[in-house]
Amino acid sequence: MPLHEKLESVYADVLSRNPGEVEFHQAVREVLESIGPALGKHPEYADARIISRLCEPERQIIFRVPWEDDAGGIHINRGFRVEFNSALGPFKGGLRFHPSVYLGTIKFLGFEQVFKNALTGLPIGGGKGGSDFDPKGRSDREIMRFCQSLMTELYRHIGEYTDVPAGDIGVGGREIGYLFGQYKRITNRYESGVLTGKGLLYGGAKVRTEATGYGSAFFVNEMLAARGESFEGRTVVVSGSGNVAIYAIEKVHQLGGKVVACSDSSGYIYDEKGIDVELLKEIKEVRRERIEAYAERVAHASYVPDRLVWEVPCEVAMPCATQNEITGKEALALVRNGCIAVGEGANMPCTPEGVQAFLDAGIAFGPGKAANAGGVATSALEMQQNASRDSWSFEYSEQRLEQIMKDIHARCSETAEEYGMPGNYVAGSNISAYTRVAEAMLSLGLI
């Protein structure tokens, strides 16, 4: 899609200033393609070079993370924290531990986080961090030593009023616990609000574990409702089998849908009777086994190695694994097989060609910055509870999450309608978030 004439130079500048960071380029391009109409309505944004400032992080931190394995071997990893934009509040975004992590990954995620956080309506800015450390196959003590080493540098850059990390791929409750313990040890402060995704015994919020997956299902449910549809009786396919995927499956089942397939990096499982969520939790969260273990325990389920889950026919697709997992080819296959709605539980899991295929087919498409904002929204609710030394019930927390997702859907839908693109949640989410951040940046002066 061609860019607005005032944005061509912005994108060219991003490419020249950030060579080789292809995921970041993709994320920026996707936003720039949407916000052209906003420049016509708000020329002051162009005059103040808001989007150029938005594309440049406020701060980029890269550091060495040395650690020792159980055999005494020394390892050196690289740690990152990109503090992208704090116009709406302290930087907020997760930490990702995965060997594919490099600066471009973190910048793409941080850029997306600015828009996602703005859509929640809560006072949080955007940032992201992580490391190229691979937690797979590592013992608890190795994970602890790595987390302690990472926090020994990271602690000086974060704080409940500055930057509040959380979990992401490879960083769950175990890792957050080790990170928070080291932060407390170094600073001598029980500053609960400095990290979110904590355990319930030391300041965590109920529903935080479920929030991204639940929120994605709530958002898709709203998209379906806007078309007079629902999850009831629908066949659903979810990619991934980590935290987001597991709880997306759980909530889809509660809303009346049936998830028949999910996956990991080795292949996918198909269960025509519907995925047994409790068994999936045991395999992935307790035993930490590969997805094929599910088929070994369920006689009527099958395991398909080295294939993509998107070949399974479905009416609703929810990519909840990683970036760029649905290309134009997979998108067209989903369309041919009768898919009517797609909700991104992961960050940018669809390539631009995939997104365009869904939009051209008139499918209800919920982009990640809107559909998976439930995780960071509940993190912000955790910050509220930490600040007031309070703890909310699961039911109340889930009600707050559901309402936030309904509000995000309404913002996206109403903005798309206002700019003459009804039903286009990509444009609606980008323009709504962009204008909110832009107004805050204008109010704060040239900073």
If DSSP codes are grouped into helix, strand and coil, which group holds residue 209?
A: coil
The closest alpha carbon to 1, from 349, 424, 290, belongs to: 424
Please check if 116 is assigned to a binding site. yes
Please check if 388 is assigned to a binding site. no
The closest alpha carbon to 253, from 268, 236, 239, belongs to: 236
Please check if 192 is assigned to a binding site. no
Sequence-ordered strand ranges (E) for 109-247:
126-131, 163-166, 235-239
Catalytic residue among 128, 184, 251, 258: 128
Rounded to whole angstroms, the Cα distance separating 78 from 57 reads 19
Establish whether 128 is a catalytic residue. yes
Rounded to whole angstroms, the Cα distance separating 10 from 398 reads 40
Please check if 379 is assigned to a binding site. yes
Rounded to whole angstroms, the Cα distance separating 359 from 235 reads 21
Tokens of residue 212, six digits: 């991204």
Please check if 212 is assigned to a binding site. yes
Residue 419 CB partners (closer than 8 Å, separation 6+): 37, 38, 427, 428, 431
Rounded to whole angstroms, the Cα distance separating 6 from 11 reads 10
Question: What are the backbone dihedrals phi and psi of residue 95, each rounded to the nearest 5 degrees, phi first?
Answer: -115, 130
| Whole-number CA gyration radius for the chain | 21
Rounded to whole angstroms, the Cα distance separating 120 from 380 reads 9
Active-site positions? 128
| Residue numbering of the annotated binding site | 92, 113, 116, 167, 212, 243, 379
| Residue numbering of the annotated binding site for substrate | 92, 113, 116, 167, 379
